[in-house]
Structure 1
Amino acid sequence: MINKSSTSIHEVLSQIQDGSTIMIGGFGTAGQPAELIDGLIKLGRKDLTIVSNNAGNGDYGLAKLLKAGAV
């Protein structure tokens, strides 16, 4: 099995391209990876498929990706 864990947000972001599928956990907006979400927006990623049980709200969590047109 390939080890896909990483400790660097920059390493993770460099591996996510347009059209990628990303599974994001959390309970409501608690525990959602804000640095990852902000990084994807900053890099201008688009056509992402997100697997999650919550879309966030307002300007937080996955709602930010939706507003940015990344999904």
Structure 2
Amino acid sequence: MWELLSPAKNRAQTFRRGTSVYDPQHMGFVDDGSFRFDVSVPGNSNAGHEYGADLADNERRELIEYLKTL
């Protein structure tokens, strides 16, 4: 969730994915390192829409904590 609320230019360029175990603390999936996702590969963009990209770090954390309550 943190990455999604960050500006696209600040998002990770590669990350590992391979499990569907949900991590409620970080609002994402547990990274077991089994699949490397590389955004430089055509069709693997990490850009998407920039919502919340202008939030300060503390505001972003507060929004994530709020979303956890929904």
Is the pair's TM-score, using the shorter chain for normalization, greater than 0.5?
no
Would you tell me which structure has more helix in proportion to its own residues?
1
Would you tell me which structure has more strand in proportion to its own residues?
2
Calculate the TM-score normalised by the size of structure 1. 0.25
Calculate the TM-score normalised by the size of structure 2. 0.25
| Higher relative contact order (Cα pairs below 8 Å, separated by 6+ residues) | 2
Q: Give the structure with higher Rg (CA).
A: 2
